[in-house]
Structures are given as structure tokens and as C-alpha cells.
Amino acid sequence: MLLATLSDMSSEGIEAVARPRKRGEYAKTRARRQEILEAALQVFAASGYRNGSLREVAERVGMSEAGLLHHFPSKVALLEGVLRTRDDQSFDIVSPELLHGAALLEGLAALAEYNSTVPGIVELFCILSAEATASDHPAHEYFQERYRVTVELVERAVQEMADAGQLRGGTTPQSAARTMVALMDGLQVQWLLDRDSVDMPSEIRNYVATLTVPHVS
């Protein structure tokens, strides 16, 4: 929850005084979980989810597989943690609650700029999204929902541009949204293959420019 009740805050404060070690233990556990997630990201990015093993993830953080399972009870749980971490990073840059219309589309360009600094995450996403086209893949429903939500968010932003008189004629919000999402994913693959020749943020901004009515001063 984003907001805690006063009673919740009070109980937390009492517990912190009564058992000061718990907070330290929690911080260590949280740091350890983050370390595991980063290792899993590297393993899954290099080998894919199906071929990447829990043993390899555990070895990267210097612990046993049993110790890893204490933090993440299954490989699926670990995958969910990795995907959730990526989503949290994305929403820190593109906040649908704060950004609307053209500002949200600019946020997508900023997200692409950030992604260019974390190639491991981009590799992981591309590998997993391809693997997850199989209906029995544990991330299949995640990617289905992700694309549905992403297209809806972009479509909403383009519709807001249309309502503000900023959208060029002949463009439909749904078509623009589908094209934008396809462009972003396609650019990521091209960038991974040849990072020197692809400028993802610029290409996204160029596409947004084709949607926008020119500003006349």
C-alpha cells in the first residue's frame, strides 16, 4: 500500500523499538533478494528462462540452491520477481498517472534512452518475450497482459492528443498505439544486433513527430 493508517504506523514504530534487530535483518534479506534478482537477470538474459538454471543463479551470488529457494520458492517465483523489478524501473520513468498525451509518448522515448544503458535487461526482455509466445511458458500470461496494458496506455495518450487538436488527420489512436509498441520492440532487437547504428530514442521521437500537428508560432 502507498499509504499506511496511523495505527499501522504506530505498530511498526513499537515493533522497531522492541526488536531493533528485525529491521537490520529485513534490510539484509531485501538486499540479498535484490542481489539474487540481478544475478537471475544476467542468467536469463544469457541463456533464456528455460535454459537458465537456479543452480547457476545461486552460484553467481555465492549461495546454495536451497538457500536461494529460501528467498524465492520456485523458478517461476524468481522469474516473476525479475519481471516485476523491470516493470518498477519502467514506471519510475513513465508514470501513466502523471503523464498524459504527448508527454507520455515523450516518456516512452526517455524509457528507450534508459534501456540503452541496461542492455542486459533489454536482452532478457527480447528473449523472454519470444519464449513466452508458447502457451505453456510461465511468462505467457504476463506478456499478454503487458501488451494489452501498454497498447491501452499509448492509445489513451494518442486520444488525448486528438482531443487537444494535436493529432494529425488520418491517424487513429489504436493504429498509432499498435505501431508505437511494435516500433519500440523492433528497435530493441535492431539495437541489440548493432548498437552503433540504432538510436532508439531518436527514432521514437521521429515517429511521434509524424503523429503531431506542427506547432505554428
Q: What is the pLDDT of residue 9?
A: 32
pLDDT exceeds cutoff 60 at 1: no
Which are the contacts of 142, defined by CB distance < 8 A and separation ≥ 6? 80, 83, 132
The per-residue pLDDT for range 83-122, each reduced to its tens digit, is 888 888 787 888 777 789 999 999 999 999 988 988 888 8
> At CA 40, angle to CA 139 and CA 135, rounded to 5?
15
Amino acid residing at 23: R
Task: For residue 157, give the nearest of 96, 200, 213 by alpha carbon.
Answer: 96
Distance of CA 176 to the CA centre of its chain: 21
Q: What is the pLDDT of residue 22?
A: 57
Q: What is the pLDDT of residue 122?
A: 87
pLDDT exceeds cutoff 50 at 126: yes
How far are the Cα atoms of 34, 108, 118, 190, 193 from residue 197, in angstroms, in the given order? Answer: 33, 20, 17, 9, 9
Which pLDDT band, with edges at 50, 70 and 90, does 182 fall under? very high
Q: What is the pLDDT of residue 185?
A: 95
Between 159 and 19, where is the model more confident?
159
Between 16 and 53, where is the model more confident?
53
Q: Please measure the distance between the N-terminal and C-terminal CA atoms of the chain and give it in whole angstroms.
A: 45
Between 55 and 49, where is the model more confident?
55
Query: What is this structure's pTM?
Result: 0.73
Task: For residue 44, give the nearest of 112, 105, 120 by alpha carbon.
Answer: 120
Mean pLDDT of the chain: 84
pLDDT exceeds cutoff 50 at 11: no
Q: What is the mean pLDDT of residues 171-186?
A: 96
pLDDT exceeds cutoff 70 at 8: no
